[in-house]
Amino acid sequence: MASAVERPDSAPEHCPGTQSDQAGKASACAGCPNQQICATGPKGPDPGIALVKDRLQNVKNKILILSGKGGVGKSTVTALLSRALAVEDNERNVAVLDIDICGPSQPRVLGVLDEQVHQSGSGWSPVYVDDNLSLMSIGFLLSSPDDAIIWRGPKKNNLIKQFLSEVDWGKLDYLLIDTPPGTSDEHLSAVTYLSQANLTGAIIVTTPQEVALLDVRKEIDFCRKTKINILGVVENMAEFICPCCQKSAEIFKATTGGVKKMCEELDVPFLGSLPLDPKVTRSCDEGKNFFEEVPDSPVISVLQTIVKNITAKYG
């Protein structure tokens, strides 16, 4: 499997793409060894789009998990939602695809850090966290969790295409796609390759303070410009739950009304507010199932409500 990570990619950082009219002609193409091939090659739809459509035809719901900025707990929320979806109905098949190439945290959070993916005639086999919960991440392809991924955009995009078109997911009810923060190459690649695969929509994660909400507004604008259905916004770390006395305290003051008011102003669904419970955080750091470790956490009840809201519309 290491060969998939080490494959060289000499495309320039701002490559216009082989299907662009500027392929081989843009200033970014100067010096590229493939310049002549791109300039004279056939133009048309990326064949990867059809491959992804075919591979994901048995996946009912494909959901992007987005955040406007880093540090809002997007990857943790992705793991929490995947666990909640899988626990609520053991007949429901759920998977997580981690395309946060430079910061793959799902293997640790879901407790499968030391596992490896295997390849068969039907493609890469994801790692199973539980009987009805699986995961694919670049973290499984690294020789060490400390290895840095130092890649330009085209190489990241190629791996995302591989994950979407070459992983043998089987029949799934939900595929949650954990993305990096912002609106970058990885997001555009995912949207492009999923353009014919009936993408269900996106869930956006944020914290209450204005500095986070400013970036979330950009994320919402990105979804609307790329015609992604916004399933809703999750407010994370809305309050701190003391592990000793169970009393709550506000961490990030919502100076402009918070997430709920922003959702009303922008006409997007508000899914719920998740508190910060150190016990749940510890379970995620240790890769344990928080439903079993801390079943009485207030995070559980909020998660169950969010999941019911999602499954009611996209069950």
Is 66 part of any domain?
A: yes
Choice between 37 and 32, residue whose per-residue pLDDT is larger: 32
Give pLDDT tens digits for 99-123: 999 989 999 999 999 898 888 888 9
So what's the pLDDT on residue 89? 94
* Number of residues that this document lists for the chain: 315
Query: Phi/psi zone of residue 200: left (φ > 0), alpha (ψ -120 to 50 degrees), beta?
Result: alpha
Is 24 part of any domain?
A: no
So what's the pLDDT on residue 252? 77
Q: Would the pLDDT of 2 be above 70?
A: no
So what's the pLDDT on residue 4? 42
Cite the DSSP H helix spans in 167-239.
185-193, 210-225
Q: Would the pLDDT of 7 be above 90?
A: no
CATH number of the domain that 306 lies in? 3.40.50.300
Provide the domain limits for residue 274.
Answer: 48-314
Q: At what angle do helices 47-55 and 185-193 cross, to 10 degrees?
A: 70
CB 290 within 8 A of CB 284: yes
Q: Can you tell me the mean pLDDT for 80-85?
A: 96
Q: Would the pLDDT of 152 be above 90?
A: no
CB 33 within 8 A of CB 49: no
Give pLDDT tens digits for 270-302: 999 999 999 999 999 999 999 999 999 999 999
Q: Can you tell me the mean pLDDT for 146-162?
A: 89
* Cα separations in angstroms, 242 against 279, 283, 299: 9, 16, 13
Choice between 249 and 194, residue whose per-residue pLDDT is larger: 194
So what's the pLDDT on residue 166? 95
Is 172 part of any domain?
A: yes
**Backbone phi, then psi, for 53, in 5-degree steps?**
-60, -45
Is 20 part of any domain?
A: no
Alpha-carbon gap, residue 62 to 291, rounded angstroms:
24
Q: Would the pLDDT of 6 be above 90?
A: no
Alpha-carbon gap, residue 231 to 203, rounded angstroms:
5
| Element holding 278 (H helix, E strand) | helix 278-285
148-151 long-range contacts, CB within 8 A, separation 24+:
148/102, 149/101, 149/102, 151/9, 151/101, 151/102
Q: Can you tell me the mean pLDDT for 181-189?
A: 89
So what's the pLDDT on residue 130? 96
Q: Can you tell me the mean pLDDT for 70-88?
A: 95
Give pLDDT tens digits for 227-273: 999 999 999 998 888 877 777 778 777 777 789 999 999 999 999 99
Q: Would the pLDDT of 10 be above 70?
A: no
Alpha-carbon gap, residue 84 to 75, rounded angstroms:
14
Choice between 92 and 256, residue whose per-residue pLDDT is larger: 92
Radius of gyration of the chain (CA): 20
Alpha-carbon gap, residue 47 to 35, rounded angstroms:
20
Q: Can you tell me the mean pLDDT for 158-182?
A: 95
Is 267 part of any domain?
A: yes
Q: For the whole model, what pTM was predicted?
A: 0.85
Nearest to 64 by CA among 186, 216, 209: 186
Q: Would the pLDDT of 311 be above 70?
A: yes
* Cα separations in angstroms, 236 against 10, 78, 205, 232, 243: 39, 11, 7, 13, 18
So what's the pLDDT on residue 41? 62
Work out the mean pLDDT of the chain and round it to a whole number: 88
Out of 25-29, 40-44, 302-306, least confident range: 40-44
Is 14 part of any domain?
A: no
Q: Would the pLDDT of 85 be above 60?
A: yes
Q: Would the pLDDT of 196 be above 90?
A: yes
Is 10 part of any domain?
A: no
Q: Can you tell me the mean pLDDT for 129-146?
A: 93
Is 127 part of any domain?
A: yes
- CA quadruple 261, 267, 272, 273: dihedral sign: negative
Total number of domains constituting the chain: 1
CB 45 within 8 A of CB 52: no
Q: Would the pLDDT of 183 be above 50?
A: yes
